[in-house]
Structure formats: C-alpha cells, structure tokens
Amino acid sequence: MKRWWLVLVAAIVPLIPPTWSSAASTPLGPGAHWVYLSWQGRQRSAYVEIPSGSSPHPLVLVYHGATDNAMTGVTRTNLPELVQRGAIVAFLQGYQNSWSDGLADNPASKAKVDDVGFTKAIISYLEARLPVNHSRIVAVGFSNGALMAQYLGCRLASMLSAIVPAEGPMPVSIAASCHPARPLSVLSIEGTSDTVFPYNGGYFSSIYGGGAEMKGAPQTTAFWASLDHCASRSVTKGSGSVYTTRYLRCRNGTTVSLRTNVGGVHVWPPSMAQIVSSVVF
C-alpha cells in the first residue's frame, strides 16, 4: 500500500516540533513509533518501525541526507520492507536536518553536535526496550548520512556490525584518523554520474559553503579492505548498469564491497532493502 500519509508527514516534520516523550516511556511494541530522548541538552528523535516477535532482531539505523529529514528515508526508499523480514529499522533525525560527520561545514558540525554519542544513546534506548541482536547493528546513510555512516565506522565499530554508505565516500581527512575498534563489513553504493561526490574522487563542494577532498569510490573500498585486513584481491562481477567489486577473506568474517551503479546520480539508490539485506541477515 502506498504510504501517502508518510509523504504528508515528511513535509511537515521540519515545521512542527515533535511532542516531548521521556526516555523512561513504556516499552515499545510492534508497529511504528516516534521516540525522543535528550542528548547534549537537545531533544533528539527517531522514527522507529518494529516487527513482532520476541527473538532478537537486527537493528538498522538510517541517516538521511543534508536538508532532508527522518521521514525521507521512509518515503524515498523501501527500507521499511526490512521490518517484514524481522529487522527493527530506526530512521534518525539529524540536528537541523544535518549530521556532524567529522567535517566542519554543516549546522550539526558547527554546533558541535556529538552524533556518534547520539547514535550510542539511540542504540541503548532501543536495547533497553526491545530484543536487539547485538551482533547485527547496521548503519545505513545517504549523502551527508553516508558520510555519517563512514564516520561511525571509524568511531563506533565496537557497536556496529556493518555500514552501508550510499552516495558518500570517505573524506581524506577522516581516513587519516580512522582507527576502528574492530573489523566491520562495509557495503558502499556509488553512482558513476554523481556530481556531488565524484566517483573517482576529488573536491566536494558543500551546499553550506565548505568542502573537503574525498577519496574515490574504489579508493574508499580499498581503504576499508586494508582496515579489515582482507587477504584477497578484489573481484568484480556484473555487467550492464550494475557491477560489484568485493574483497573476501577479511578478518572476523567481514566483507567489503562496492556496488557501482553505472550512470547513477545523487539520489537514494533503488531497492535498498534488498541490497542492505546481505549485511543485515
């Protein structure tokens, strides 16, 4: 069924602040919920879709792009379909519709928001109320959210099993200080015609006036493969509009992959639920 009502909610979320709900609220049941907590003296929120059942569920954390909001991940992707397969899917809301991703150009970064800490707080909040599978916590992001997923891979690997950055490679400055606590799987999705983050790397000009030098998509994947101590050379398969480059025999059973969409532009890739499933289940 088409989620027309979610499109309406997505349109009004930035204009109407959510009603306050204490972190000490009642346990969460199956269905969709807005959850709120206080972090760094600010009210933060996430839209969470919860499956039924008492067995531990994988947890998928979704980070929207800059100027978007939590609901755009619901309306512009099919990620909610993961709930039908038993995953908890949390669409997080960024501060002033942005994420503090380690760069210094957007509202969240300028306000010195600790979004790594916010992610920890959301994970703890959900773990206290739901049966979360601690070995299956995945961060998925688009654009600014993809940079946030890369940053979380560097700073929060102890709590994550995988990251899935879409249309957002690794900033050179972040790579220089990226020391994950443990190997984690990485599945990058990049389009060859993305004009915001060039596929082969180069300078990124932010809509907020700043910018940064970025690794290319293949270089970002090779970087994560080196961090995961992958023992094999990359293997590329596919033809036509999509091909996948994959590193195998990585430490702790992790995998590092790049899904290249030939001609792909700077939008949420289609069929995200099916793509993400490979690192969630």
Domain ranges in the chain are: 4-10+23-280
Provide the residue-wise pLDDT of the chain in tens; the chain has 281 residues.
Answer: 334 333 333 333 333 333 334 444 567 999 999 999 999 999 999 999 999 999 999 999 999 999 999 999 999 999 999 999 999 999 999 999 999 999 999 999 999 999 999 999 999 999 999 999 999 999 999 999 999 999 999 999 999 999 999 999 999 999 999 999 999 999 999 999 999 999 999 999 999 998 999 999 999 999 999 999 999 789 999 988 999 999 999 999 999 999 999 999 999 999 999 999 999 99
User: Which residues have C-beta within 8 Å of that of residue 85, sequence separation ≥ 6?
Assistant: 51, 277, 281
Q: What is the pLDDT of residue 2?
A: 36
Q: What is the pLDDT of residue 69?
A: 98
pTM for this prediction: 0.91
Q: What is the pLDDT of residue 160?
A: 98
Q: What is the pLDDT of residue 27?
A: 77
Is CATH 3.40.50.620 correct for 4-10+23-280? no
